[in-house]
Structure 1
């Protein structure tokens, strides 16, 4: 027969064991919350809260610019104006020598435009004249159709020939321009993109009877253009 005194030690031992087990459970839970080894290794298949972004490949400004139809058109406009300016740089060399030899005009003009220029240079050589001075330009692309076949642009220019002089190579004398010819006149050019994606001038026409005096003058004081209305045909090439 077990007395009440004999039962007490057994109950006391069970109570102590229960306290020890409860303490161990609490210790295990507390260790998880403080970032133990289990926290350092996320469960397989569950992404970590902080991950490194994969390196990005740099994108050039040109690629961003031409990624839309509008961007492609702006790029084409810039290319057309560049070719127009380079064409005139070479064209001025030809006029100063009354010959296209030694120039890079074939790079910027197609055979039709170059043929017309060479006819003009032949006339100058026959008349024994050359050009001196400089021409100023205010070119702009008036229309452009990048999706056409071939892609085509129209350039309108206000040419300033106030310091562009015709000289007689025999006498060295300056030949005055025709009476009534404006010093600033309108010109147009047709530019097409051919094989290889290269733009070339296919046609150039100067209307020396049509003035474009309203083209923006440059202020001597500030070196900036003074805003004013543009005359029809003063848009650039």
Structure 2
């Protein structure tokens, strides 16, 4: 759905970990975009970046796309930042905030060969959240909440 999130450069003593969190999230959104363009996760590396819970959310979206005969064209813009980082937990955790930009996004009906317009109430820019955990030395996205947490 995107080429990866544009992000605010991390600063401070945890900058390396914040950069790694953003890289994992960016990798996931880039692979998610590949999957949505074909309504299938085949040929993607989603499992490298997303745990089963987060992957399940993406797979549900892919099932809906495939069932309706749709794919995603264009892309979703991302501007992600780490909002919390806990490196002292047994399993280090991070929270992210992402400004989603749908201005170049479109769902395309492959059967009718036409663009399906976004719902009229759908904002083109809104805030989404995600969480990540550090497993075996690398960050994995564990949850994605794209339900819109206000404008950005």
The normalised TM-score by structure 1 is 0.58
1:205: which partner in 2?
Answer: 145
Other-structure match for 1:151: 92
Structure 1 residue ranges without an equivalent (≥5):
1-69, 213-237
Q: Which residue of 2 aligns with 1:45?
A: none
Greater RCO between the two (CA within 8 Å, min separation 6)? Answer: 2
* 2-structure distance, mates of 1:93, 1:171: 22
- Give CA deviations for 1:101-137 in whole Å, capped at 9, x if unaligned: 1000000001111112111100110011100002211
- Provide structure 2 residue ranges, at least 5 long, that are not aligned to the other structure: 1-11
Counterpart CA distance in 2 for 1:149 and 1:96 is 37
1:74 aligns with 2:15: yes
| Paired residue total | 141
Are 2:108 and 1:167 aligned? Answer: yes
In the TM superposition, structure 1's runs of 4+ consecutive aligned residues that sit over 6 Å from their partners are none
TM-score (norm 2): 0.89
1:121-157 alpha-carbon deviations (Å, 9 max, x no partner): 0011001110000221110000000111210000000
Contact 1:182–1:209 under 8 Å retained in 2:
no
More strand by share: 2
Tell me the C-alpha RMSD between the 2 structures. Answer: 1.2
Partner of 1:122: 63
Greater percentage in helix: 1
Aligned to 2:9: none
